[in-house]
Amino acid sequence: MANILIVDDEIGIRELLSEILRDEGHDVLLAENAGAARNIRNELCPDLVLLDIWMPDSDGISLLKEWSANGQLKMPVIMMSGHGTIDSAVEATRIGALDFLEKPIALQKLLASVKRGLAHRAMPSTPRHPTLAALTRSLALRDLRRRLSQLSEGSRSLLLKVGTGSLAELAARSIQNNSGAWLDLSAQPGQLDGDQLTALAGGTVFVPEMLRLTRAQRVNLSFLLDRLDRYKLHLVVATEHGRETFQTEGWDPALVDRLFETSLPLPGLAEIKDDIPELAGLILQQLIEAGEVPMRRFSSAVLNMLRTHHWPGGYPELRATVKSLAMASLDQEIDADDANALLAETRSTDNGTPLSLELPLREAREEFERIYFRHHLRLEGGNMTRLAEKTGVERTHLYRKLKQLGLHSSRKSED
């Protein structure tokens, strides 16, 4: 049968519901508050949750919102309340609750609701990416989220001014997306057409660094700008450069003016370093939920190491590092020994290329290429399509080059 989590601060309610559900053959997990429920959800992934609204530490609606924002609402949740109102039921349903039970709960209504919830759990879910909505503790990130929301409501095109340690992808994924569709325009090999835009309708098109776009991709960008309203798309482009640089590089001045019309400066990871442990934990949880890594958790020492580390590659580098740590760790807890080697390697490249100038030119070039490709492999999470695009190396030659340098990458990493 199923694993069902009951979350209620009243011991009598927990015991009564537990007895009923165990008689029906289910395994029951009990939590007296939101903190305990959160831990059980992360560790045991129950098949269904019965969640009380009114609890002393954090109310059930807030916990439901947290699970929804974190991409963790993959199990059906049935809300319970002894003081139920229409407004509470509507809000819970809007956030993602499957049903709402008012106390005292009638036996047949409970069993019918649980049966419906367990039937609903088989429905497929779409993998989620972290967004600013899940990072509620940081005043700076809450403020950034509000600014992004306000700007995106007024314009379908937004330029993000970024520097070292860019948060551009995290910001772009935080803008309202009605369809879940996402396209990295810098990885688009051919010409965009109406069929592709129809498939993307309601979604987001992202450009991680506008200056790196090829001439053909600039044509796609111009084509897209004229059709944002028609397909209800949001375009988010990021760049470290001012408009003068684009004019020097031969960009169409009218296109540059349109793209710079609505802009927002973003902080880098160095400016929100105290929020990095929360962000890393969120990334790890969603990688686990998506089945990309096994069940893992960070030790306090590793979270502190991530907080103090220098992240020149920004959010993509942090995400790639979290994924690498989770996949390489032999134990459920990722400890300092797991993190030291990986972070030490990135520190050495960040603090200056560790090349001996006494090497012959050929050997020095080869060592530089090894450092260069290892860095970008890590940033792109081993994805060969993005690596080829980022480095400007043709795919077949890229495989040969990595093999020559002793850097192995699986051909499965194509998405």
234 DSSP β-pair partners: 204
**What pLDDT is recorded for position 295?**
87
Model-level pTM? Answer: 0.65
Q: Which residue do the tokens 């998506």 mark?
A: 290
At residue 87, φ and ψ (nearest 5 deg) are -60, -45
Dist. CA 20–CA 371, nearest whole Å: 61
**What pLDDT is recorded for position 413?**
47
**What pLDDT is recorded for position 182?**
93
415 residues of the chain, pLDDT tens digit each: 799 999 999 999 999 999 999 999 999 999 999 999 998 998 888 999 999 998 887 889 989 988 887 778 889 999 998 876 677 778 888 888 999 998 989 999 999 999 999 987 655 455 578 899 888 888 999 999 999 999 999 999 999 999 888 999 999 999 988 788 999 998 887 899 999 999 999 999 999 999 989 899 999 999 999 999 999 999 999 999 999 999 899 999 999 999 999 999 999 999 999 999 999 999 998 888 878 888 899 999 999 999 999 888 899 889 989 998 998 888 999 999 888 877 876 555 454 445 555 667 777 777 778 777 877 777 776 778 778 877 888 888 888 888 777 775 544 444 4
Q: How many Å is the Cα radius of gyration of the chain? A: 24
**What pLDDT is recorded for position 299?**
94
Chain centroid, CA 129 distance in Å = 3
- 3-class DSSP string for the chain: CCEEEEECCCHHHHHHHHHHHHHCCCEEEEECCHHHHHHHHHHHCCCEEEEECCCCCCCHHHHHHHHHHCCCCCCCEEEEECCCCHHHHHHHHHHCCCEEEECCCCHHHHHHHHHHHHHHCCCCCCCCCCCHHHCCCCHHHHHHHHHHHHHHHHCCEEEEECCCCCCHHHHHHCCCCCCCCEEEHHHCCCCCCHHHHHHHCCCEEEECCHHHCCHHHHHHHHHHHCCHHHHCCEEEEEECCCHHHHHHCCCCHHHHHHHCCCEEECCCHHHHHHHHHHHHHHHHHHHHHCCCCCCCEECHHHHHHHHHCCCCCHHHHHHHHHHHHHHHCCCCEECHHHHHHHHHHHHHHHCCCCCCCCCCHHHHHHHHHHHHHHHHHHHCCCCHHHHHHHHCCCHHHHHHHHHHCCCCCCCCCCC
At residue 283, φ and ψ (nearest 5 deg) are -60, -45
The count of other CB atoms within 10 Å of the CB of residue 237 is: 23
Of 286, 281, 331, 285, nearest in space to 307 by CA: 281
- What are the angstrom distances between the C-alpha of 109 and each of 31, 47, 100, 181? 22, 19, 10, 38
Q: Which two tokens stand for residue 388?
A: 């080829």
Of 157, 179, 160, 180, nearest in space to 170 by CA: 160
Q: Hey, what domains does the chain have and what are their CATH numbers?
A: 3-120 (3.40.50.2300), 132-267 (3.40.50.300), 276-404 (1.10.8.60)
**What pLDDT is recorded for position 345?**
61
**What pLDDT is recorded for position 231?**
95
